[in-house]
Structures are given as C-alpha cells and as structure tokens.
Amino acid sequence: MNLPRVAAYFPAFAKGYLRNPLGLFMSLIFPIILILIFGAVFSNSGVSAVPLTVQNLDGGSAASQQFLAALNATGAVSITLVSPSVGNLSAYISHHSLTAGLVIPAGFGAALANHTPVSVLVYTNPSAGSAAGVVQGAVQGVVNGLNLRLAGGSVVVSTIQLNVGSVLYTYIDYLVPGLIGFSVLVAPMFSMVNISSTWKRDKLFRQLSLTPLTRGEWLTATLLWYVLLAITSALLLLGIGAAVFGAHVTLTWMTLPILVFGPMLFVAIGLLAGTVSNTPESAGVIGNIITFPMMFLSGTFFPVSLFPSWLVPIARALPLYYVIEGLNASMVFDNPSLALNDTLIVLVLAVAFSIVAVRAFTWRED
Amino acid sequence: MPETIAVSKLVKAYGDLHAVDGVDFTVNSGEVFAFLGPNGAGKTTTVEILEGLRRRTAGEVRVLGRDPWTEAGRLKRRIGVIPQDFQFFPKLSPREAIQLYARLFAVRVDPEALLAEVELSDKANDHYDTLSGGQRQKVGVALALVNDPELCFLDEPTTGLDPRARRSIWEVIRRLRSEGRTVFLTTHYLDEAQQLSDRIAIINLGKIIATGAPDEIIGRFGRPARLRITGDPALVTHLTERGFRATATNGGAEVELRSKADALAVVNAVAGSGLRWEGFSTRSDTLEDVFIHLVGRLEEGSMRALDEREANR
Ligand SMILES: Nc1ncnc2c1ncn2[C@@H]1O[C@H](COP(=O)(O)OP(=O)(O)OP(=O)(O)O)[C@@H](O)[C@H]1O
Ligand SMILES: [Mg+2]
C-alpha cells in the first residue's frame, strides 16, 4: 500500500464523482429531500397510542388482569407485557430505549381484596412530553376508578411516578439515523455496482492496471471517498433534523466507526455484484435486488420496533439493520454497548464481503 | 543488437479458438516494429500478452528481459501502452489525466509540453467525454508517454484519425525512435507501416506469414517491377516476339522487368518497332500489394481452416 498513490488517485475519483450530478444527488441531496418530506409529514401527527411496557409481578391474580384490561380499554396506551424474569423494569426500559413502563407489584390482588394500600409504579420521563402525560393520565384514570369502586373514594391504590432517565423519542429521532443509514447504503451501492460493471466493459480497470496503482490502493481511495460522503451526509441530516424538526440526536464517538465500516460493507457488496455480472444491465438488476429490500426493511424510514412481528426476523437478516440499529444506539439512545455490538457485526460483515469481492475482482484478463 | 522483445512458440487459445497459434519473432532495441494483419488476425491478443494484460496459453515471452505476466508490476514502469479502443474516465480533462498518471508513476512531467506534442493544447481542460474520437486517441498517446517508457506499444494508434492527426502521431513515433525508444506498432494502414517501421511482421489467423524489413518483404513476396508503355496495342505482340513478358493494358502494354538492364532493352525495342508510343512509366509493388496478395492467397485456405474449426466444436 503506497499512500501517495492513494492520495493521487483519490481526487481523480472524487472529481469524476462530483462532476456526475446523479451520484451526488443520490448520495447527498436525495436523503435531504427525504428527511424534509418524511419529517414534515410525520412529525406533527400525534401518536395514537403510546407504547407502554408492563411487568406484571402479580400475574396470577384476576385483579391485575382486570386492571390491565381497563388500562387497555382507555385506548391511550398500547400494552406490551414483559416477563418478571427480565428483572428491574427501569433498567430494561433504559436498555431497550422504551417509552414508558408500568410495574404491578406482587400481592396486588391480595392487597385489593384486603383493602390494604398498594402502589403501581409508572416509569416515564419529564422530557417525554405529551407521551409521558398520556401514560400518567391513563394509569391515574384507571386507578381512580378502582379506588372509587373498592372503597368509595378512599385511596387504596396509588401510583408512584418514577423517572427512568431516558428521553422519549419522537419519529424524527428515528428518522435521522435511518436516513443516515440510507445514505450509507445507497451512495456506495448504486455507484459501485455501476462502476465495477461499466469500468470493466469500458476497459478502465485495464487502463489503471497499466499504472503502478494496485487494486488495494484503488479500493482504499474509493472507500475513503464513500466514508467522506457518509460523514458529510450524516452531518447534513443531523443538522437539518435538529434545526428544522428539533431532533434529539447527537454524534458520539461510537458513531464514527459505523460511518467507516458501513460504507466499507456496501462498497464491497456493490463491487461484488458488479464484478460477478456480465453486463452493466444485469449488474443494475442485481444491485437493485440487493438494495431495495434493505432500503425499506432495515428501519430507514420507520423504526423496526413498529414493524409487524413477522417482519422483524427479515429485517434482522439484512446487513443495513445493524448499521441503523448501531446509529440509533450511538446517536439517539446513548447505548454504547449496543452500538459496539452492532459495529462489530457490521465490521465482520464488511471484512467478509471485502475478502470475497477482492478475490472476484480482477483487472487483467486471463 | 539486444532483443527488447523475444517471443517463441506463443499460443493463446480462447476455448477451441487459437487466436495466436505458434508465433515467433523478436524486436530489437531502438527499432520500430510493425505488426500487420487483417481483422481478427491475433494482433491485439499478442500485444496484450506482451503488455502483461493477458495470460498466454503456451510459449515463451520476454519483454525487456522479463516475463510480462508474472513480472507485470516491474515492467509497467518501463513500458508505455495505448490499447486498442482506448477509453478514459469521462469526467477528467486531458491535463488532469496526465497529472494523475504523473503522480501515480511518481514522475515529473510538463503537462503543457506533452499536450502540445500531441496537438491537444486547445482541449487541455475539456472533459474526456466531450472530445472527438481522434482527440481521445491523442489523450491515450500522451498518457503512454508520461512515464518516459523505453518501449511503447501502440495498438492501432491512428485508426479513426484524420490525415493531419495521423501525421502528428507519426511524428511522435518518429521522435520516439530518434530518442532511442523501441516501438511496437500494430496497424491496418500499410503505408504507415512502410513509412515508419524498420521491420514488419504480417500475421494472419494467428500465424506469422512474413517478417523482415518492408523492402525485404516486398522483394521476397512482391511481383517484379513493371514497365508500362502507353501507345499502340500491337506493342504487346512485338515485345513478346522479342522474348519479353508483355501483357496488354488498356492503352498500351506492360512488361515485367527481370533485371535493370531489361528496362533499356524494352525501351530500345519499343523505339525500334516503328509503332506509335507516348510514354513510359515504371510500377513496383507496394507493401499493400504484397499484403493483399499474401493474405488473399491464404484466404481460400483459411476459409477451409475456419470451417474445420467450426465443425470440431
Ligand atoms: N476475450 C476473448 N474471448 C474469446 N475470443 C477472443 C477474445 N479476444 C479476442 N478473441 C478472438 O481472437 C481472435 C483474434 O483477436 P484479436 O483481437 O487479437 O485480433 P486483431 O488482430 O487485433 O484484430 P483487429 O484488427 O480487428 O483489432 C479473434 O478471432 C477474436 O474473435
Ligand atoms: Mg486489434
């Protein structure tokens, strides 16, 4: 690896890219258009039901079931039950970046039967804004009704409000990392598939092979360009998301590795797709078959947590899922361990695909 | 004289097709060597093997003393190449292309001088995809010269150029030769080969059918020089009776000359015949005549060979 040659080739590649309006449009402009459209359409519409994670430590009792049924009937919250075995719900909510939680304590049913005071725990965050209020209001409403019925208004059941220390996320908070993931995917995929197939047809790799530039140096310079594009796109989306829609996203030190390994992964996949196809046309088709499912099913436009459950395993099988989950974990949820986990998955995939792509990619003909 | 290129028993097979079929030749240092042949003869295949771009099926090849396939990395600093159907990055200008090559080869070049040499100064900043076919070819020539090569491979460098542009490329080739570089040239233009090259190889269907200096080849394979007389058609009989090989042409006769003295004898015989005559001219075969003759003569045999090849598939 000769760095002066990488440095010599890099600006030539960049010029070629920048002078072609389509490439720049797909990698930088298009994601901005998307954030403006999706942000405007979805940011202001109220969420119909606030997700509420419930841990029922008194699962056997009919009273706890009735309580939850009443809560569900308010329509204000949508309940997801978690097992008592997950342990401390506050930690669980933090770790999974959930909106709000409710714990029904053990002995809840017995307490009600004996009219002894008992408390349910509600975890929300003041910064959750209206969603926190919705949860508190719904729980308090059901509790009040219960007290009225049980004891003619005297307080038997009370709620305890607790902060879980995590912020509540709005749609735009998911959209920013999702669209950064979109750029990380789309910029290298579309142009690498095109480059590796048309340059082969036009004998441009042959032309490069007549110079001292090696394939490794070529790939390094090319990758550097897509990393630069990904970082630029991330900064633009972050800025627009925060300035226009008030997104709560921050760059952390864990964001950078994903913005390096993500492009590396898709440069390798794009190179491979273009290299194995015989014509630029078939390369384009293969590229689209790979790109489009990832573009929609990896949490780019909507968080995977909103997907129907049968779609989730499919999403998790797509490499982009881990890029976007990692970006969410690092930029939104400040969850370094999850971000690290995703980064490692992306790194392993990137290295594996790079090895295969470099093996398949030759400059000289036999 | 040291051999810059030595090729022996070179074979390149694409499946059943032997595109190059047992070729031997050498190229000496400092000469312009032209590789001539009809379309599909195997010229590009051979050149690409010499450049290290293609792997050979069999045979020995040495370029500047090295194996071009296994030692391509070392060789490429010493050779300059214009591939057939040269193409470059569409959005780079000729000046940027030269600067890129200079940095990749880590050499100092003056882009302006190089552009002037190939007469491309006025297009120095235009993107490659806006250049005409001939201008693009000139970019290829300029790039081949960036690394100051000892040996240049030019695969049909003048195809598609207008006559003036062709001559400017010829000038470059002449200058390369005068600087002591070796030039390996493939071309369809026989006048080009005849004018520029020290030695020629004619290849057809993957086999070399003639090698040598242009004059040698003409001498060996060409018909003898002919003296043409315009005048009375009866001259043909008159000359034949006197032992000359005369044939009728429209408006006169043509006599094959077996020696220089023949010419004088013919002129005397014509003058003494009392028949009407207007003028004399001599005509000898050009490389083109020889080429058409050689390749054409092989054509029937080749068609049969091709049929057999097809049948064997
Ligand atoms: N990559 C390839 N795969 C299969 N056959 C090939 C390939 N390249 C060339 N050929 C065949 O090999 C033969 C020689 O081709 P080559 O390109 O060497 O001819 P050429 O003498 O350069 O012709 P031209 O004057 O048209 O450039 C042709 O019959 C051609 O069809
Ligand atoms: Mg050719």
Band the pLDDT of B102: cuts 50, 70, 90: very high
A107: in domain: yes
The Cα B95–Cα B97 span in angstroms is 5
- pLDDT at residue B181 in the model: 94
Residue B29 contacts residue B3 (beta carbons within 8 Å): yes
The Cα A327–Cα A253 span in angstroms is 11
Question: Based on the structure, what is the number of domains in chain A?
Answer: 2
In the CATH hierarchy, which fold is given to the domain comprising B3-219? Rossmann fold (3.40.50)
Strands A101-104 and A50-56: parallel
Q: CA of A196, closest CA in chain B: separation in Å?
A: 13
Buried b (16+ CB within 10 A) or exposed e, B49-58: bbbbbbebbe
Among all bound ligands, the one having the nearest atom to the CA of B155 is: 2
- pLDDT at residue B228 in the model: 86
Q: CA of B253, closest CA in chain A: separation in Å?
A: 54
**Which among B72, B83, B96 is the nearest to A12, CB-wise?**
B96
Residue B30 contacts residue B176 (beta carbons within 8 Å): no
pLDDT tens digits along B229-257: 888 888 888 888 888 888 888 888 888 88
Shared domain for A174 and A189, answered yes or no, is: yes
Residue B287 contacts residue B218 (beta carbons within 8 Å): yes
**Which among B51, B89, B100 is the nearest to A204, CB-wise?**
B89
Q: What is the largest CA-CA distance in chain B?
A: 77
- pLDDT at residue B256 in the model: 84
Find the residue in A nearest to B12 (Cα).
A366
CATH number (domain holding residue A122): 3.40.1710.10
Count residue pairs from A and B with Cβ separation < 8 A. Answer: 67
Q: Is residue B90 classed as helix, strand or coil in its secondary structure? A: coil
How many A from CA of B101 to the centre of ligand 1? Answer: 28
Residue with tokens 């790939």: A219
- pLDDT at residue A139 in the model: 84
- pLDDT at residue B56 in the model: 94
- pLDDT at residue B59 in the model: 94
Q: What is the largest CA-CA distance in chain A?
A: 92
The answer to whether the CB of B45 is under 6 A from ligand 1 is yes
| CA-closest residue to ligand 1 atom 9 | B45
Find the residue in A nearest to B72 (Cα).
A210
Band the pLDDT of B51: cuts 50, 70, 90: very high
Contact B76 A211 (CB under 8 A): yes
- pLDDT at residue A216 in the model: 92
The Cα B7–Cα A127 span in angstroms is 80
The Cα A359–Cα B284 span in angstroms is 57
Band the pLDDT of B300: cuts 50, 70, 90: low
Specify which residues B26 forms β-bridges with.
B6
Contact A213 B51 (CB under 8 A): no
Shared domain for A143 and A80, answered yes or no, is: yes
**Residue spans of chain A under pLDDT 70:** 43-48, 125-130, 151-169
The Cα B20–Cα B10 span in angstroms is 7
The answer to whether the CB of B19 is under 6 A from ligand 1 is yes
- Domain holding A119, by residue range, is 50-150
Helix axes A319-331, A171-201, angle to 10 degrees: 140
The Cα A233–Cα A28 span in angstroms is 6
Ligand 2 ion: Cβ-proximal residues, 5 Å cutoff: B 43-44, 84
Shared domain for A112 and A176, answered yes or no, is: no
- pLDDT at residue A3 in the model: 93
pLDDT tens digits along B120-165: 999 999 999 999 888 899 999 999 999 999 999 999 998 878 888 8
Q: Residue B40 region, left (φ>0) first, then alpha (ψ -120 to 50), else beta?
A: left
**Which among A12, A204, A206 is the nearest to B53, CB-wise?**
A206
Residue A211 contacts residue A164 (beta carbons within 8 Å): no
To test the contact with chain A by mutation, choose from B104, B129, B141 the residue with the greatest count of A C-beta atoms within 10 A, namely B104
Q: How big, in percent rounded to 5, are the helix, strand and coil portions of chain A?
A: 70, 10, 25
Contact B101 A211 (CB under 8 A): yes
CATH number for B224-283 (one of 3.40.630.30, 3.40.50.2300, 3.40.50.720, 3.30.70.260): it is 3.30.70.260
Ligand 1 atom nearest to B48, measured from its CA: 18
Amino acid letter for position B40: G
Shared domain for A320 and A179, answered yes or no, is: yes
How many A from CA of B289 to the centre of ligand 2? Answer: 21
Q: Does A366 touch chain B (CB under 8 A)?
A: yes
**Which among A9, A364, A365 is the nearest to B104, CB-wise?**
A9
A20: in domain: yes
Specify which residues B21 forms β-bridges with.
B11
ipTM attached to this prediction: 0.80
- pLDDT at residue A347 in the model: 96
A160: in domain: no
Residue B62 predicted with pLDDT over 90: yes
Q: Residue B267 corresponds to which tokens in the numbers above?
A: 């002129």
To test the contact with chain B by mutation, choose from A191, A210, A362 the residue with the greatest count of B C-beta atoms within 10 A, namely A210
- pLDDT at residue B307 in the model: 54
A214: in domain: yes
Contact B105 A202 (CB under 8 A): no
Give the Å distances, CA to CA, from A199 to A90, A196, A329, B1, B89: 55, 6, 38, 41, 9
Helix axes A319-331, A280-297, angle to 10 degrees: 40
pLDDT tens digits along A28-58: 888 999 888 888 877 654 445 788 889 999 8
Shared domain for A113 and A181, answered yes or no, is: no
Q: Could you state, in order of their start, the residue ranges of all structural domains in chain B?
A: 3-219, 224-283
Shared domain for A124 and A268, answered yes or no, is: no
Shared domain for A187 and A121, answered yes or no, is: no
A118, A150, A182 - which closes a domain = A150
Give the Å distances, CA to CA, from B229 to A64, A357, B249, B267: 125, 72, 9, 9
Q: Does B209 touch chain A (CB under 8 A)?
A: no
Q: Does B87 touch chain A (CB under 8 A)?
A: yes
Band the pLDDT of B7: cuts 50, 70, 90: very high
Residue B220 predicted with pLDDT over 50: yes
Residue B200 predicted with pLDDT over 90: yes
Shared domain for A26 and A116, answered yes or no, is: no
Give the Å distances, CA to CA, from A28 to A195, A210, A297, B132: 18, 33, 21, 33
- pLDDT at residue A362 in the model: 86
H and E: helices and strands count for chain B: 11, 13
Residue B107 predicted with pLDDT over 90: yes
Among all bound ligands, the one having the nearest atom to the CA of B18 is: 1
How many A from CA of B206 to the centre of ligand 2? Answer: 12
The answer to whether the CB of B173 is under 6 A from ligand 1 is no
| CA-closest residue to ligand 1 atom 5 | B14
What single DSSP character describes residue B225? Answer: P
Residue from B135, B127, B129 nearest B161 by CA:
B135
How many A from CA of B39 to the centre of ligand 2? Answer: 7
The answer to whether the CB of B237 is under 6 A from ligand 1 is no
Contact B76 A202 (CB under 8 A): no
Q: Does B85 touch chain A (CB under 8 A)?
A: yes
- pLDDT at residue A26 in the model: 82
The answer to whether the CB of B41 is under 6 A from ligand 1 is yes
Residue A137 contacts residue A76 (beta carbons within 8 Å): yes
The answer to whether the CB of B42 is under 6 A from ligand 1 is yes
Contact residues, chain A, for B73 at CB < 8 Å: 212
- pLDDT at residue A150 in the model: 72
Ligand 1 atom nearest to B156, measured from its CA: 27
Residue B44 contacts residue A365 (beta carbons within 8 Å): no
Q: CA of A275, closest CA in chain B: separation in Å?
A: 18
